[in-house]
Structure 1
Amino acid sequence: MTGGAANGLPPIRHNDYSPLRPPEIGAWDPSLPVSVIIPAHGGQHRLDLTLASLAAQTYPDHLMEVIVVDDGSEPPLRLPEIAPPGARIVTADPGGWGIAHAVNTGAALAEGRILQRLDADMVVCREHIEALARWHHLAEHLVTIGAKKFVEEPRLTPGRVHEAVRAGSLEEIFDLSEALPSSTEQTIARTDGLRASRNPYHVCTGPTVSMRRETFHAVGGIDPDVLRGEDTEFAYRLAQRGVVFIPDMTAGAVHLGLPAQRRDRQRVVRAVAPYLAHRIPLRRDLRKDRGRRWLVPYVEVVLHVGGAGQEQVREAVNAALEGSVTDVTVTLVAPWSRLPRGRRPVLGDPDFELRLMREHFGHDERVRLADEVSPTPAPTPFRYTGPISVPLGHDSLERMIAAVQEDRSGLLTVDLPGAGPATLERTEAVGRALLLGARYPQEVAASIKATHGVRHGEAKEFWPSSRAARPGAPESAPLPDAPAARTVARPEPGTKATREPGPGRKADPGRRGPNGPSGPSGPRGQESASPAPGGSRSLIDRLRAAIRPE
């Protein structure tokens, strides 16, 4: 297994899907059934227009079903006269409400191999379903995104819409010269169709997106507890699974009505922020409150504790939890479930150390006891694994994350003399390896090398002034400071660094929240006391600049 798709396709590097060659529209024979899922709450007239456009699709009728999920409409929605042959209306499952709940209801009923999510106020071009579905005939780990423009809703009848879509001309019924372009499409254009995007999940918003049915269910569907930004949060979990995001601008559509941001942008941003702050750790700009505990941590630290003493484990755990990156969880790996139960000698117990550790850490929500390591830490975006004998330095995690963020490598390996390797994995790279059929753990590194790249570094670069780089050395003999983040490790050949601030935001290299820089780093600011060569910014400031906000 070297990173290529199971069907023999060449490996896709990061999100550069250039090796894939989809068939031309109208020049191929589809075989996979598609289920179009439309969540709807009221808006019967707009729904009628949406269904009229779906009734004129080039995708074969016998391979397409349409499921409209009525999310508590009053009066209930009805199926109009012009609708696809395979269309039906179902009610959302009782006990819930909202877009995510409605989509999940439809996905549970869907029979198609491909799930196409579509809003109930979209008029799509006749090739829309075909354009997105053709990619899914190539590989299973793709998510496709359609195009859209926003228009003030004109007065239209379903019959007029059906006629125009079937004729292949949305321009006949919409003045597209006055349409408001989607901001996501600007990002798509700026990043070469997302091929160069660092975080392509940003643009995977809900109105029109499709994927294989098993991909949808593998990440647990859309979170019904996320009432705003549920599409972005869902796309983030897809990204951690390792999917490739492909926008297809030939899948055109018109969104009836202007976006909510035009009405009250500040309120929309405020409504989304707390949901994403807890669930998308890569949004460092949203985690500014010091001392907070977040639903999804930024890094999982894995420590194998077999044979170690309690004090040694306590030192390693404390170092992980008290470093400059604070939204961390620790997984202690040992045969916890196999500890004998029942009467035993307390002081003479052969498992004395393990039982002490279990009691000491078992009640700390930041520490997890596990018999074995899970194949992926998703949705946590990074996982560190290192020897228990070498505790993390105060900013070791920060330095390692800066290294992999610089060139988007999927795996960093650091040789700790006398103790073995320490590694930092990027979860999306691990997820891609597993999707491509790599056996865990034997073949994962080779697959990551092909799709994301592997870096190698020396201990002094990530433990620059501690005994960690040389076990047994006195703490009074520090190693020289590490070089700046841009040379902190040696990338694999062919890897290049790219930078892409999130939509509408500029990177602020001197500021991070409680889980990273907002002031001096290291114990009492020691690391930032010395100016960096060639400028006033310190080494740690430049490291922090590499871990940019989204």
Structure 2
Amino acid sequence: MAIRYSVIIPTYNRAQQLLLTLTSFETQTFPKHLFEVIVADDGSTDGTKEMVEGFKASYPLVYVSHPEQRGRSAVRNLGLRRARGLYIIFCDADFLVLPDFIKTVSRYHRKYPKSVLSGIPYSWDDAFTHYYPDFSPEEKEHCRSILTQSGLWNPGLEAANEMIPIITPEDILHQTGALSKVVAPSRVPPTTKKQFAATDVAPWMLLVTRCVSIRRSQLIRIGGFNERFVLYGLEDWDLGYRLHRLRVPFYSIKEVVGYHQEHPTYLRGNVLNTENLKIMFETYGFNDSSLNLFALIPPSEDFETYKNTLRVLRKGIRSKLTRSSALLLKRTLRIAAKQFFDPKNTPAYQKSLHLIQRKAANRKSRVAHVLREMLLKSEKLVEK
């Protein structure tokens, strides 16, 4: 039978975490001849190639690589070119999947065959599979707390000068129960999780490549990831945005299907990379308020306010009583995005904002209130 799922795992110098992730696919309850795992290596120098090629997988395992680092988008596209499955599952090298992972994804795709399925926000919990000497003081304390509760803390870890495994491949393969002892509930606020799961506005933001499944034909149609995104940040939401423009639906898998292997924060990179946001504005222009709002309310900083602002705007547009205020809000967001993209016309932006301020001064609707908040944020952006 043909491969149904191609799991693409991009990686760069994550050999020890990747080893556990590859092992977790050994435990899948989904038939192993119906899925493949493609490790797309972006020029790792830590022995990743040797580890993958020496891994004795019971499922089809493919290794592809760039000779030197080219970025997160390019390496995912490299894996995509080798994929044979009807569906593509993007899975991070540090995402440890549970035995029913692919089985669960398959069940959801039977119900939503042409949709994007996201493991976020229900699979956001961390697992301390390794101890890192370069954890921040807060991360060390968090790790110590979780391991102490489960009886796994060893004071000698704090003297380590290299990464120490806490969970072994054997723990994963034989499901010893050790993994459950190192899981740390996500510190993402419940309100933020709720907003991520909601698809009434900006549903494309569910496309987070830690764990997401997409029909391969849809990815090919839009050309995969935009390889202009080299640095960390927004390359997954850019892909989701393009799929959304094709009216592809988005759904969240409402079950835990895996755990993120915790690592030092600095490895994540800058969550909102300003140069990448400028690429999005350059690519799509300034006609979409859901993009323009990024300039004033980065979703990574306040996801709830971001989405609620879009809801207020949408509701305001639909009402004759508040439509004029909503249109002023749209204009304000457009001005802010243009200022963010190209600050050379600051006097013109300031003049436009002052005009909107005068028009909004005595309005009392919820839309007008949000409008004034966005005007204040826009003024601060112009003053930078």
TM-score (norm 1): 0.47
Q: Is structure 2 residue 355 aligned with structure 1 residue 525?
A: yes
Are residues 1:162 and 2:167 paired?
Answer: no
Question: 1:151 & 1:69 partners in 2: Cα distance?
Answer: 23
Q: Residue deviations 1:17-65, cap 9 Å, x none?
A: xxxxxxxxxxxxx997101111122332222211111011111112111
**1:148/1:252 CA distance change after superposition, 3 Å:** farther
- The 8 Å contact of residues 101 and 224 in structure 1, kept in 2 or not, is answered as yes
User: 1:406, CA displacement in angstroms?
Assistant: 1.7
User: What is the aligned counterpart of 2:42 among 71, 83, 90?
Assistant: 71
User: In 1, are the aligned partners of 2:286 and 2:337 still within 8 Å (CA)?
Assistant: no
What stretches of structure 1 of length at least 5 have no aligned partner? 1-29, 282-293, 301-324, 329-401, 410-454, 462-482, 490-508
Q: Distance in 2 between matches of 1:264 and 1:125?
A: 24
1:444-472 CA distances to partner (integer Å, 9 max, x unpaired)? xxxxxxxxxxx6x9xxx8xxxxxxxxxxx
Q: Find the aligned partners of 2:73 and 2:189 in 1 and give their Cα distance.
A: 21
The separation in 2 between residues aligned to 1:117 and 1:63, in whole angstroms, is: 16
Query: Does residue 104 of structure 1 match 2:12?
Result: no
The answer to whether the 8 Å contact 2:8/2:90 transfers is: yes
Mark the structure with the bigger radius of gyration: 1
1:149 matched to 2:137: no
Paired with 1:136 and 1:61, the residues of 2 have a C-alpha distance of 18
* Cα pair distance change 1:264/1:511, threshold 3 Å: farther
* Partners of 1:148 and 1:255 within 8 A in 2: yes
In 2 relative to 1, CA 486–47 (structure 1 residues): closer, same or farther, beyond 3 Å? same
- What is the 5 A alignment of 1:83-482? 83-92=57-66, 97-146=70-119, 147-154=123-130, 155-164=166-175, 172-176=178-182, 179-181=184-186, 183=188, 187-190=192-195, 193-195=197-199, 197-226=200-229, 227-229=231-233, 230-258=235-263, 260=265, 263=266, 268-269=270-271, 272-279=273-280, 281=281, 294-299=282-287, 405-407=313-315
Contact 2:222–2:243 (8 Å) recurs in 1: yes
- Would the aligned equivalents of 1:42 and 1:73 in 2 still touch at CA under 8 Å? yes
Tell me if the contact between 1:150 and 1:255 (Cα under 8 Å) persists in the aligned partners.
yes
Give yes or no for contact 1:510–1:518 (8 Å, CA) kept in 2.
Answer: no
DSSP-derived class of the 1:239 partner: helix
Change (3 A) 1:174 1:72: same
DSSP-derived class of the 2:194 partner: helix
More contact order relative to length (CA 8 Å, sep ≥ 6): 2
Q: Aligned partners of 2:78, 2:325: CA distance in 1, in Å?
A: 50
Shift of 1:404: 10
Q: Look up the match of 1:35.
A: 6
Contact 1:113 1:213 in 2 (8 A): yes
Alpha carbons 1:150, 1:254 under 8 Å: kept: yes
Deviations 1:213-248 (A, max 9, x none): 011122221122212112222222222222222111
Percentage identity across paired residues of the two chains: 23
Contact 2:286 2:334 in 1 (8 A): no
Q: How far, CA to CA, are the matches of 2:101 and 2:170 in structure 1?
A: 19
- Closer/same/farther in 2, CA of residues 44 and 243 from structure 1, 3 Å limit: same
- Following superposition, the deviation at residue 87 of structure 1 comes to 1.3
After superposition, the Cα gap between the structure-2 partners of 1:100 and 1:540, relative to the gap in structure 1 and judged at 3 Å, is closer
SS of 1:513's partner is helix
Structure 2 gaps of 5+ residues are 131-165, 293-309, 340-347, 379-384
Choose between structure 1 and 2: higher helix proportion: 2
Q: How many residues align?
A: 304
Is contact 2:42–2:68 with CA below 8 Å preserved after alignment?
no
Structure 1 CA distance for aligned equivalents of residues 240 and 187 of structure 2: 18
Deviation, 1:184, is: 8.7
Q: CA deviation at 1:255?
A: 1.5
Q: Look up the equivalent residue of 2:323 and give its one-letter code.
A: A
- The structural deviation recorded for 1:277 is 3.3
